[in-house]
A and B are shown apart, each in its own frame.
Chain A
Amino acid sequence: MQYLFYLFAAISVLSGLFVVTARNPVNSVIALIVCFLSIAGHYILLNAQFLAMVQVIVYTGAIMVLFLFVIMLLNLNNSTEPQKTLLTRIAAVVAGGVFLLTLLAATRQGVEIAAANPADASVGLVSHVGMALFKDFLLPFEVSSVLFLSAMVGALMLGKKEKVAA
């Protein structure tokens, strides 16, 4: 189990790095798919089988394929990438460095992390997720419908062709 965790962690980190460093956006997307697959691996290690499946089907399957299409349609390459000035680069490095430092410093101080739930292989099955959604988290589940509805309304409003004003 532990080795599997390190394996998946290494794949996630490396593919994640490749996503940001790759020159070609298509390579980036492929690396992101690998990253998402390894995260699905983490979910399985954590006994969240349903989440792992959803991750593969929704993220790696649907969303990333859509992403790939968009990138291919836009025909992005080096020449269309905006050039960043030296100042922005320095600022980005400093900001990122400070962020990394904070995270490292925090994790170095052997902090206590809440114990995970006792290992129960069935905890991540669909029925359990369903029970949690419709019992403990019923209100957030229902309220999120407002969120999706407004997102849909917005997409239609912004995407709809307007009649040309006379």
Chain B
Amino acid sequence: MSALILTSVLGVVLLYLGLSGNKSILAPTAIVGLVAAGVMSWTGWNPGLMEFPTMLKFDQMSTLFNCAMIAVTVLLFLFGIDYYRRMEENVAEHYALMVFSLTGALILTSYTNLLMLFLGIEILSIPLYILAGGKKRSYRSSEASFKYFLLGSFATAFFLMGIALIYGVTASFDLAVIGQKVQAAPNNVLFLLGAFFVSIALSFKVGAVPFHFWSPDVYEGAPTLVTAFMATVVKTAAFAGFYRFLQMTAMPPALSDTLLVITILTLFLGNVVAMRQSQFKRLMAYSSIAHTGFLLMAVLANSAMSWSTLFYYTFTYALATVGLFIVLTLAKRAANGNEAIVIFRGLFRANPWLALVTMLLLLSLAGIPLTAGFVAKYQVFMLAIGAGFIKTAVFAVFMALVGIYYYVLVIREAFTPAEETPVLVVSPINWLVVSACGVAVVAFALWPVLVG
């Protein structure tokens, strides 16, 4: 609770600091604030004992997810020091909106009431609609913002229709009460319909096929830092929210079948279309859709252990993604704003360490053994097999193999000498963040081995 309050206040503080006109204090303040929020969240520090048990519940799951999301945001803000250096205006607003969005994410991991789920989703999304249009002079950025806003509002309409139907059947927004009523009458059609609608809206937020159309355009159009934020924190929060919602519904067969179809479509389309991309951000968008497919399998298994797998998967995925987007920004600067995959050519010559870390991060996304991505995918497959989705798991393994192809394409570019070796300017903080991501991806893979 205190972490939630702190992040809300931090956003306002950042806005006021923006008035002072001194850009250089923004990122440090935001980072200090977020670290404090992370500590509060980790220790469960709650001095006034403010608790709203019917609205928010901070259990082990939400604590871990919250700390992970705060940590990823801190990494992104460290990157922001360099990223926003050349931007003159609205820097404070960018930081503040991202902090507000994080507040929504914190709510999504811990809600126990459908109203809080709604508010969480909206607080998460509305700052993003704005941030996606952050490059005001860029046509693509405005397009991304508008597209995201319109489709997001459409998803919200579905969501509200869903909770209206659920309320109509159960006369409650409280997850515990709804859960009891549903167990008493599991096949109430109106409840199923409501659960469907809410699932549609949440599938939109996580970017599952066939609700994925926004994501390549928005990922490409939005400023890189915002794209990284969307691919990591937002996806993590949306999955935590999705998982909590489905736990409550106790997964009736009709819903489970629908989600199974969505999962298979997502796995297939994400991986296959990603092979044909030449722009790095679009590649990452489709790769993120593919990862949504794997994550949906964990959600689908719907066991009590799903959340720890979801946590491990989203966190390691987020670390790899943050690192890659930083490398992209560095390479993009050297290539005058070009975002094609070819700009990675000659990376090994220009900066061997960066190329090696990039390789590690990409291998982790692909799920090669000895990286965290492998452990995460392995856990998901075991979970799916344990829940009886054996055919889906086999299909997913096959799709994971397809996925290796397009990640290796990027690695190949990085290790191919270019005619003109690009000149990369790497600030020490960026170097540190990228290296930390690379080291973490390996450390987290060895962690299960080392610990147990």
CB contact between A157 and one of B93, B126, B181 (< 8 Å): that residue:
B93
A136 to B115, CA, bound (A): 12
Which residues does chain A contribute within 8 Å of B115, judged by CB atoms? 137, 140
Per the CB 8 Å criterion, the residue count for chain B at the interface is 44
A112 to B191, CA, bound (A): 10
Nearest-CB distance from B110 to chain A (Å)?
11
Find the A residue at minimum CB distance from B196. Answer: A102
- Beyond A103-B193, A106-B190, A162-B89, is A146–B133 a contact (Cβ under 8 Å)? no
**Do A154 and B88 have beta carbons less than 8 Å apart?**
no
B90 an interface residue at 8 Å Cβ cutoff?
yes
Nearest-CB distance from B210 to chain A (Å)?
11
A143 an interface residue at 8 Å Cβ cutoff?
yes
CB contact between A149 and one of B11, B168, B193 (< 8 Å): that residue:
B11
A87 an interface residue at 8 Å Cβ cutoff?
no
B107 an interface residue at 8 Å Cβ cutoff?
yes
Contact with A along B131-148 (1 / 0, CB 8 A): 001001100000001000
Which residues does chain B contribute within 8 Å of A154, judged by CB atoms? 93, 97, 126-127, 129-130
Which secondary structure characterizes the binding site on chain A? Answer: helix
Which residues does chain A contribute within 8 Å of B116, judged by CB atoms? 139-140, 143
B150 an interface residue at 8 Å Cβ cutoff?
no
User: Count of A-B contacts with CB under 8 A?
Assistant: 96
A165 an interface residue at 8 Å Cβ cutoff?
yes
- Beyond A140-B55, A143-B119, A158-B133, is A153–B190 a contact (Cβ under 8 Å)? no
Contact with A along B152-183 (1 / 0, CB 8 A): 00000000000000001111000000000100
Find the A residue at minimum CB distance from B54. Answer: A136
**Do A150 and B123 have beta carbons less than 8 Å apart?**
yes
Which residues does chain A contribute within 8 Å of B96, judged by CB atoms? 150, 153
Find the A residue at minimum CB distance from B192. Answer: A106
* Size bin of chain A's contact surface: 20 to 34
Which residues does chain B contribute within 8 Å of A149, judged by CB atoms? 11-12, 100
CB contact between A111 and one of B133, B171, B188 (< 8 Å): that residue:
B188
A105 to B129, CA, bound (A): 36
A109 to B168, CA, bound (A): 15
**Do B97 and A138 have beta carbons less than 8 Å apart?**
no
**Do B127 and A150 have beta carbons less than 8 Å apart?**
yes
A90 an interface residue at 8 Å Cβ cutoff?
no
A147 an interface residue at 8 Å Cβ cutoff?
yes
B8 an interface residue at 8 Å Cβ cutoff?
yes
A163 an interface residue at 8 Å Cβ cutoff?
yes
**Do A106 and B123 have beta carbons less than 8 Å apart?**
no
B122 an interface residue at 8 Å Cβ cutoff?
yes
A98-155 contacts to B, CB under 8 A, are 102-103, 105-107, 109, 111-116, 136-140, 143-144, 146-147, 149-151, 153-154
**Do A147 and B129 have beta carbons less than 8 Å apart?**
no
B103 an interface residue at 8 Å Cβ cutoff?
yes
**Do A150 and B97 have beta carbons less than 8 Å apart?**
yes
**Do A114 and B136 have beta carbons less than 8 Å apart?**
no
Which residues does chain A contribute within 8 Å of B136, judged by CB atoms? 158, 162
Nearest-CB distance from B102 to chain A (Å)?
11
B189 an interface residue at 8 Å Cβ cutoff?
yes
B15 an interface residue at 8 Å Cβ cutoff?
yes
A144 to B193, CA, bound (A): 27
B305 an interface residue at 8 Å Cβ cutoff?
no
**Do B185 and A150 have beta carbons less than 8 Å apart?**
no
CB contact between B89 and one of A107, A136, A163 (< 8 Å): that residue:
A163
Which residues does chain B contribute within 8 Å of A144, judged by CB atoms? 119
**Do B55 and A139 have beta carbons less than 8 Å apart?**
yes
Find the A residue at minimum CB distance from B4. Answer: A143
- Beyond A102-B193, A106-B193, A163-B89, is A153–B169 a contact (Cβ under 8 Å)? no
Given A106-B189, A136-B54, output 15 extra A-B contacts at Cβ < 8 Å: A113-B190, A115-B171, A140-B116, A144-B119, A147-B104, A147-B119, A149-B11, A149-B12, A150-B96, A150-B127, A153-B15, A153-B100, A154-B93, A154-B129, A158-B133
11 A-B pairs with C-beta separation under 8 A: A106-B193, A111-B190, A113-B169, A139-B116, A143-B116, A146-B103, A146-B104, A146-B123, A150-B100, A158-B130, A163-B89
- Give the 5 A-B residue pairs with the shortest CB-CB distance, closest first: A154-B130, A114-B171, A150-B100, A139-B55, A139-B52
